[in-house]
Amino acid sequence: MSFVGGGARLTRARWTLYLTVGVIGLAVILLLAPLVGPGAHGRGVALMSPRAVWGDGIDATIFWHVRLPRTLAAALVGAALAAAGCAFQAVLRNPLAEPFTLGVSSGASLAAVIAIRLGVASVAGTAGVGAAAVIGAIAAVALVWQLGRVGSTLPPATLVLAGVTVSMFCGAAALVVQATADFAEMSRMLRWMMGGLEWTQLTTVARALPPLVLGAAVLVWLGRDLNALAAGPEAAASVGVAVGRTQTLAFAAASLLVGTSIAIAGPIGFVGLIVPHALRATVGPDHRVLLPMSLLGGAALVVGCDTIARVLGQLPVGVVTALAGGPFFLVLLVRGKRTSALWRSE
């Protein structure tokens, strides 16, 4: 089975057009999202007046201290998860690869839960738990890679099996750790594992920015290499790609993105799967445009889903990404099957 879709070759004009549309679209969403909130008595939708933002009333406080940090965090998390999913799919040549199916999210969650249990949160705060999540993400990727490898190749089936196995093991181990925790720790763990952006502050966003920018920059830089890897490691090496270095860099950067995003918002599913697939069918498979567009598209999706989550009454954003993303992906799949534009069996 291979993935088909896409369109004409990537020219400078097309690259500029896509990126311009993407940047403008995301900018509009970022400007509007913090103005949107639940209506009076939690019913309906209320749009905050832009003038109120610059005043010194309660609206300004909500905008600057609650909604803006949350929106920015949502954007960073979405961008990171989508770009990481795109990179995992490219390196592993596997349409099912994404942080969840590879066990990365579970690895990060287990490490974070252990960190909370060991009292890291009280010593080093949320930053300590976040660092543990990053380490957990990288460890899970390394483990899945080792388990899934057959010789020098990474067959899709064994890789996904290894990912699911690691994911289930980490999930079970996290439950065991939780069972040994006291009430305060357990509530912190539960809040963290449910995923959400409710308590995000601007300092969290600022702290997460450097690793996210670094991870994203590495992946965008590798765009041409990831294209060549679409034909497999040997074909990529024969045109000049340093395959081992590219795979290691891409895995490390993607794990850094996933770990950091999990540190901000806990595990959020579906984004790493649906955004690259939807965009590949729209802008084509060339990673020099697909990766930056995944950053923008992922950011827009999670900001949109988080806004819906806020309006619907403080749902965890992961619930909305799954509820909105699932049907959206199915529509793509069914449309793609009809027009043979998404999947192709061989």
Long-range contact set of residues 226-235: C-beta below 8 Å, sequence gap at least 24: 226/87, 226/90, 226/91, 226/250, 226/287, 226/291, 227/90, 227/285, 227/286, 227/287, 227/288, 229/90, 229/91, 229/93, 230/90, 230/93, 230/285, 232/93, 233/152, 233/153
Residue number with CB closer to another protein (54 or 221): 221
> In the bound complex, what is the minimum distance in angstroms from residue 316's beta carbon to another protein?
32
Q: Which is nearer to another protein, 33 or 342 (CB)?
A: 342
* Residues of this chain that bind another protein (CB under 8 A): 2-6, 8-12, 15, 89-90, 93-95, 220-224, 227-228, 230-232, 234-235, 237-243, 280, 284-286, 288, 344, 346
The string of DSSP codes covering 138-188 is: HHHHHHHHHHH-BTTB--HHHHHHHHHHHHHHHHHHHHHHHHTS-HHHHHH
For residue 154, the minimal CB distance to another protein (Å) is 12
Shortest reach from residue 101's CB to another protein, in Å: 16
Q: Give me the residues paired with residue 153 across strands.
A: 150
The DSSP 8-state label assigned to residue 67 in this structure reads: I
Q: How far is the CB of 293 from another protein (least distance, A)?
A: 14
Looking at beta carbons only, is 106 or 227 nearer to another protein?
227
Shortest distance (Å) from residue 222 CB to another protein? 7
CB–CB of 281/70 below 8 Å?
no
How many CB atoms are closer than 10 A to CB 106? Answer: 27
Beta carbon nearer to another protein, 94 or 204: 94
> What minimum distance in Å lies between the beta carbon of 183 and another protein?
48
- Kindly tell me which of 199 and 221 has the beta carbon lying closer to another protein: 221
Name the nearest CA neighbour of 95 among 3, 220, 174.
3
Judged by CB, which is closer to another protein: 168, or 231?
231
Residue 38, SS3?
strand
